Amino acid sequence: MGVKSSMMYVAGLASIGASVAVWFTSNSKESAGVDRADRWGIFIGEWAPTFFAMGIALRMEETREEMRSSIEQESFSGSYSEGRMPSRAGI
């Protein structure tokens, strides 16, 4: 889908920053007090672990795809480097 692990890591860090910003904004602009500011800050801050977990999962997929393509590239180049066609004995 085009989403990279680095994007998820950035989203996690942005969530932490947004949590602090929302807490300060809510605490200074609303007359509801610190309790409401705490709720807003915690609500936004809870997104960070999800973004980081998604980043880790995407990194694992990216690494698996890189390893698969490098193995395929090695087997392809190894077969043809000797000047002969690859064997189809395993098929």
Q: Which of 1-15, 16-30, 75-89 has the lowest mean pLDDT?
A: 75-89
Q: DSSP assignment of the chain, as one string? A: ----HHHHHHHHHHHHHHHHHHHHHHHHH-SS-HHHHHHHHHHHHTHHHHHHHHHHHHHHHHHHHHHHHHHHHHHHHHHHHTTSPPP-TT-
pLDDT band at 81 (very low <50, low <70, confident <90, very high): low
pLDDT above 70 (res 5): yes
Domain layout of the chain by residue ranges: 5-79
Cα 29 to chain centroid, rounded: 34
Beta carbons of 48 and 58 less than 8 angstroms apart: no
Phi, psi of 23 (to 5 degrees): -60, -50
Per-residue pLDDT reduced to its tens digit, 14-60: 999 999 998 888 877 777 777 788 888 888 889 999 999 999 999 99
Please give the pLDDT value at position 73: 72
What does the alpha-carbon distance between residue 64 and residue 57 come to, in Å, rounded to a whole number?
11
Please give the pLDDT value at position 72: 73
pLDDT, average across residues 80-86:
56
Please give the pLDDT value at position 76: 63
